Chains A and B, each alone.
Chain A
Amino acid sequence: MKSRNLTSFVASGSSPLGDPVAIDAGGTYECRSHQTESSAYVSSSSTAGDDLTRLSFTDVRFSYPRTSLFGGAPSPVLAGFSWQAPDGCTVILGPNGAGKTTLLSLGATALRPTQGSVSLGDLDSSRRRDLRAFRRSVGWMPQQVRAIPGLTSREQVAYAGWLKGMSRSAAWTEAVTALERVDLTDEADRLTAQLSGGQQRRVGLAQLLVYRADLLLLDEPTAGLDPGQRARFRDLLRQVAQDVPVVVSTHQVDDLTDLFDTVIVMDHGRIPFQGSTEAFMALAPDQSTHQAEAAYAALISDER
């Protein structure tokens, strides 16, 4: 398989395999619509007419800044990159260095594109007046959830809410609910630094839930966790995804579950595949025992 130009791929509206791709503007949130009726979670920042779950990149170029005066210009991680996150829940697969973290960091505005724009609905992250609303709508969990020294889980989650613009009292109150959602009520008054790695990830997730983001971007959320913790985190993610669309990056193919509506494979700053989970699985040779790994291997080896 030859790599494809992403722009033409999106414009064509078809996957590399010719399957329909979930990029229609009026699409439904598969993962969120599973149990819409049971959801009591309503976005606090969405406004009528804005779809603050629709993250898109237009002709984005990004290079990590030089840190030395005499260093040469670093090669761009993304160049001419255009992409629109599909509706529903999405998993981004790709090897280390593929650009997944950069993509999510740009989507969260933790990084700024050197060129091009990143937008969320009508909000353009490069516009000063949009930035606050943009950031309030996106929840980003980086690869490593850091404990804030001295703070308990509840205090850390509340502080995260305050950083996202909540009032102190609202953040303090909502932190209880957020911790409840990630099943950490019993640990609310323990120092975050004393929690296990898996519990700290859940605190990280609660930090996003406390301010009710419209879209969650989770970067390698299960990396470094033992199998039990990973399974538990996936279950948790499944619950969370009922209420809010999620984009998860991972290089671990076994993170791929039926939770996700769309699978994206990223490599060297490009997207050689975007399609449904079924379409992705179909890439595997017929006899494969581990279908997902085989599909991924076929795609990546073809790319390289």
Chain B
Amino acid sequence: MIRLRTAVRVMPVFWFAIPAFLFVGWYASIEPRFPADGYPVGATAAGTATLAFVGSFCAACAAWEGSRLRRARLWDAPSVRSQATIALNALLPVVLVALVAVLVAIAVELVRAGIGLPDLRLIAMTTLDLVAFSVAGFAAGLLLPFAVAGPLAIVASFIWLAFVPAIQPVWLRHLTGMFRDCCGLAQDLAPRALIASSIVDLGIIGAAALLVAGPALVARRVGGAFATLAGAGVAGVLLVGGMTYAPTIPRDTALLECRTDGGVTICTWPEHRARAAQLARIVATVRAGWQNANIDAPSLFTEADPTVAPAGALAVGFIGVSYTEDDIIGALATGMLPADPNCPTGATGGIAVMDLAAWYAAAGGMTPDGLREQHGGAGLGGYPEPLTVVDQLRAATPETRRAWMSRAEQVSQACTDWPLDLITVHP
């Protein structure tokens, strides 16, 4: 538009800006989130989850701007300004308002996490996402009547941003630029997920540009756009195919801050620096409890991702800022558990894992209330309650405990039927 005042008066993106800001701010404030725990990457990623709404809003507003030029027959007019400049003039306010909306959500998440600055890679990614959606919506508005282009822009972008991340295969979500499953404190954003979604975004932009400014022959335009989009999609799939649901890699362990006290080493992330002493005290207490209960306790406790933790170390996760001492003991107990054998549904030694978790937590000094809250409840498949098993283990001899723990760990790795007899505590 020629003036800001004109733009504010005639562009829908400005009409709906304040409601959009309020909505995403509210949404970010209520969204149950992965504990960002003072970690900018996690908090920023949680804020970008609002892209599912903002992306649709952005695409629809861009479609309106495209339809404005379409109705006025200005797109193919012999202008001195290039079509790219004309599009930029129409879309810049749309992208900026949409970006501010996402930034509002990110700001709310940062406040909730008690952090100052967001992760700039995710903001850059979000900006590229918004540019892609605005260009695609703009192209739809130029090519189709708004009655078609508007709903199409809203529905297509919402499906892409909200539905695709929910379907199999799980790595498809990494093509969308939505990184809400990133990142725990021990993880960092996977570069290949970033690159893949950037390529797809560029593919969307290129395809849309070809559709509205490509060769005169319609078939060539459509063919070129399809080829561009397909090429970007294939490149993206090659990059993220086989990844898990999380677009993450282990965080650089060089950032860990380690302290050794009484033969026990604890390595924590910088975000936990203020609580390092408290963590050290709790770990020392838990370790002593485990030793008293005849549990082989490690001497190295690290917050590194388990996949990169040193052999013999206990990788501890999810020690959040708001966590209680019982939460931390529970996290340490969880860290002691054997790896998930990834059994087919219905055939698992998982019952043994539940009992082991309860036992490690109890031995580590978790309060009775904490035990009831985290491990209370009926046992599965006719098994005794985990806390009943815990009581039996407390009363058992060291040899019986060791024998039970050994059997339970073995059973936990077996994909067989419920191994009732194998994990029963025999006093």
Residues on A facing B (Cβ under 8 Å): 65-69, 108-110, 132, 135-136, 138, 140, 142, 144, 146-151, 155, 158-159, 162-165, 168, 171-172
Contacts and interface: CB of A to CB of B under 8 A. Distances in A.
7 contacts: A135-B78, A135-B79, A142-B73, A148-B72, A159-B1, A165-B81, A172-B3
Contact of A165 (B76, B80, B219): B80
Nearest to A67: B218
Nearest to A144: B73
B77 interface: yes
Secondary structure at the A interface, as helix, strand, loop or mixed, is loop
B72 A140 contact: no
Contacts of B81: 162-165
Contact of A65 (B6, B76, B86, B217): B217
A146 B78 CA distance: 15
A138 B73 CA distance: 18
B74 A163 contact: yes
Nearest to A192: B72
Interface residues of B, number: 23
A163 B79 contact: yes
A126 to B, nearest CB: 14
A68 B3 CA distance: 40
B15 to A, nearest CB: 11
A140 B80 CA distance: 12
B180 interface: no
Nearest to A149: B68
A109 B81 CA distance: 13
A164 B217 CA distance: 27
A167 to B, nearest CB: 10
A172 to B, nearest CB: 6
B150 to A, nearest CB: 13
B217 A146 contact: no
B10 A151 contact: yes
Contacts of B89: 162
B74 A148 contact: yes
**Ordered nearest first, which 6 A-B pairs have the shortest CB separation?**
A150-B10, A165-B80, A65-B216, A69-B219, A163-B79, A148-B72
Given A68-B219, A69-B219, A162 B68 contact: no
B2 A168 contact: yes
B71 interface: yes
Contacts of A158: 2-3
Most buried by A among B71, B74, B77: B77
Contacts of B9: 150
B172 to A, nearest CB: 33
Contacts of B68: 148-150
A67 B72 contact: no
B244 to A, nearest CB: 44
Given A149-B72, A150-B9, A151-B10, A172 B2 contact: yes
Contacts of B219: 68-69
B295 to A, nearest CB: 72
Contact of B86 (A136, A144, A146, A163): A163
Contacts of B3: 155, 158, 168, 172
A159 B81 CA distance: 11
A155 B5 CA distance: 11
Most buried by A among B9, B79, B81: B79
B80 A132 contact: yes
B80 A135 contact: yes
Contacts of A66: 216-217
Interface in B1-40: 1-3, 6, 9-10
A151 B80 contact: no
Contacts of B218: 67-69
Given A146-B72, A150-B10, A108 B78 contact: yes
A168 B4 CA distance: 11
Contacts of A147: 72
A67 B78 contact: no
Given A67-B217, A69-B217, A149-B72, A110 B2 contact: no
Contacts of B71: 146, 148-149
B21 to A, nearest CB: 23
B195 to A, nearest CB: 34
Contacts of A165: 80-81
A54 B68 CA distance: 34
Interface string B403-414: 000000000000
Contacts of A136: 80
B72 A164 contact: no
Contacts of B74: 146, 148, 163
Nearest to B215: A65
B76 A171 contact: no
Given A149-B71, A150-B68, A155 B2 contact: yes
A145 to B, nearest CB: 10
Most buried by A among B71, B80, B217, B218: B80
Contact of B6 (A135, A142, A151, A163): A151
